[in-house]
Amino acid sequence: MQQSEVQCVITDMLPYLNNSQLIKLKQSMKKLVVRKEPDELKNEVLLKRYFSSKRAEGCSEKSLKYYKATLIQALDTLGKNAREVITDELRNYLMNYQLQHSSSKITIDNIRRILSSFFNWLEDEDYIIKSPVRRIHKVKIATTVKETYTDEELEKLRDGCGNIRDLAIIDFLASTGMRVGELVLLNKDDINFNERECIVFGKGNKERIAYFDARAKLHLKKYIEERIDSEEALFVSIRRPNKRLTIGGIESRLKSLGNKVGISHVYPHKFRRTLATTAIDKGMPIEQLQRLLGHKRIDTTLHYAMVKQQNVKIAHRKYIG
């Protein structure tokens, strides 16, 4: 019997057998084929090869770390080789995880996506016949309109700043809409004050140009001129030894500033969402906003931009009557 004939038999049995049964069938039939199948592979080996593949595709180390923790926890809980996992076991795992951790639907769907990525890779690489995640559908999540800063709140945050550094951070985040992870990587030399722009490295190390307004330029320039440290980072701690600010440091400072002026839920990403919403409301083409924010898919841009209901009403009267 030839390999192609074996594959035809296995394909015919796909609707009737699970992965474990299909593997048993394939192992039994391999004796009829001249070419030998590879020996059983441990989860550690499969995961190592999977992450090597994802790393080659350009996935960030931060994402890979999250993927690794999620997959190891799932496989350890299931207690069996990934090649033998069946759909019902994964469904039960997701259900039990949600109950034990009181997790949101978003968290559970993120786990499902990671499992899907791993098992689809196993299928593509011929380690399994079909992915057991194929019949586990996307978790339905209610769409909620996320908050943005009002003009009044932005002014309150600016008035609450006790130093020029915090004021420069507020203005820079508000006018560029960049991610806080991109902000903390910037150096002073990255800033082009004449053109009011800077080069940032987004997700997947993708390079793009970000722009800031005149107010941000003035406060940022004043902040840099007043600094006496020799650190190359754009934003550093107030106290010596004036080290580069971290993501956690900026998040903590903004939260503290929000509490000071009586504004709840102050965090860096809210500035990005505010810029996107304002740009859409003022008529910026969605393709240009996508490029400005550094999104790979336009769906992500649409998710960020929450169009105000009043503008929908005005548009209805303008175009429909």
Which residues of the chain are in CATH 1.10.150.130 domains?
A: 43-142
CATH class of the 43-142 domain in this structure? mainly alpha
Residues of the chain by 3-state class (helix, strand, coil), percent to 5: 60, 5, 35
Q: Which two tokens stand for residue 171?
A: 């203005």
Distances (CA, A) of 316 to 218, 273, 283: 40, 24, 15
String of DSSP letters for 122-179: HHHTTSSSS-TTTTSPPPP----------HHHHHHHHHH-SSHHHHHHHHHHHHH---
Q: Give CATH for domain 151-319.
A: 1.10.443.10
| Tens-digit pLDDT profile for residues 122-178 | 999 989 989 999 999 998 876 666 789 999 999 999 999 999 999 999 999 999 999
Rounded distance between C-alpha atoms, residue 275 and residue 34, angstroms? 63
- In this prediction, residue 54 carries a pLDDT of 92
The answer to pTM > 0.75 is no
| Tens-digit pLDDT profile for residues 96-105 | 999 999 999 9
Which residues of the chain are in CATH 1.10.443.10 domains?
A: 151-319
Rounded distance between C-alpha atoms, residue 101 and residue 110, angstroms? 14
Question: Over 80: is that where the pLDDT of 244 sits?
Answer: yes
Rounded distance between C-alpha atoms, residue 276 and residue 46, angstroms? 41
- In this prediction, residue 70 carries a pLDDT of 96
Rounded distance between C-alpha atoms, residue 18 and residue 268, angstroms? 46
Question: Over 50: is that where the pLDDT of 186 sits?
Answer: yes
| Tens-digit pLDDT profile for residues 10-63 | 777 887 788 888 788 877 776 665 444 455 689 999 999 999 999 988 888 888
Q: Which helix (H) or strand (E) holds 263?
A: none
Rounded distance between C-alpha atoms, residue 49 and residue 127, angstroms? 11
Q: What is the mean pLDDT of residues 189-209?
A: 88
Of the pLDDT bands very low, low, confident and very high (cuts 50, 70, 90), residue 203 is confident
Burial of 39 (0-12, 13-18, 19+ CB in 10 A): exposed
What is the arrangement of strands in the sheet containing 207-211, beginning at the earlier edge strand? 191-192, 197-201, 207-211
- In this prediction, residue 37 carries a pLDDT of 43
Percent of the chain with pLDDT over 70: 88
- In this prediction, residue 10 carries a pLDDT of 76
- Mean pLDDT in the chain? 88
* Cβ atoms < 10 Å from Cβ of 30: 15
Q: Give the type of residue at 226.
A: E
Rounded distance between C-alpha atoms, residue 70 and residue 144, angstroms? 26
Rounded distance between C-alpha atoms, residue 87 and residue 121, angstroms? 16
Of the pLDDT bands very low, low, confident and very high (cuts 50, 70, 90), residue 112 is very high
